[in-house]
Amino acid sequence: MKLIDVIAGLDDIPEETFICVRRPWNNDAEALLVPFTDDLGIPAEVKAQGFEYFLEVYIAREILEGFMQRGPTLEQVTDFVTYYADNDAYPAWAH
């Protein structure tokens, strides 16, 4: 599945899920949803497939709370979340 599809369906994904994505991180990047493990780590087999930790679903939902009130497109939402995941900060263009 693509990252943009994951972002589009965030409300339907359990909060206790990791979003893992292959680089380069963009709207069309391949994504994988991984349930939380007991050690809260990304399984070795997921890493071996080239996926990296992106964000937890609950964090993606949390950072979008105020941004969604602006009525952004799905592409803008995905760009916003990607920027946050890559920089651990909100993009300047979102303010």
7-53 pLDDT, tens digit per residue, is 999 999 999 999 999 999 999 999 999 998 888 889 999 999 999 99
Q: 28: helix, coil or strand?
A: coil
Q: Using 50, 70 and 90 to split pLDDT, how confident is the model at 95?
A: confident
- Residues 62, 46 contacting (CB under 8 angstroms): no
Reduced to 3 DSSP states, what percent helix, strand and coil does the chain have, rounded to the nearest 5? 45, 20, 35
Query: Of 39-43, 46-50, 71-75, 78-82, which range is least confident?
Result: 39-43
With a CB cutoff of 8 Å and minimum separation 6, the contacts of 50 are: 22
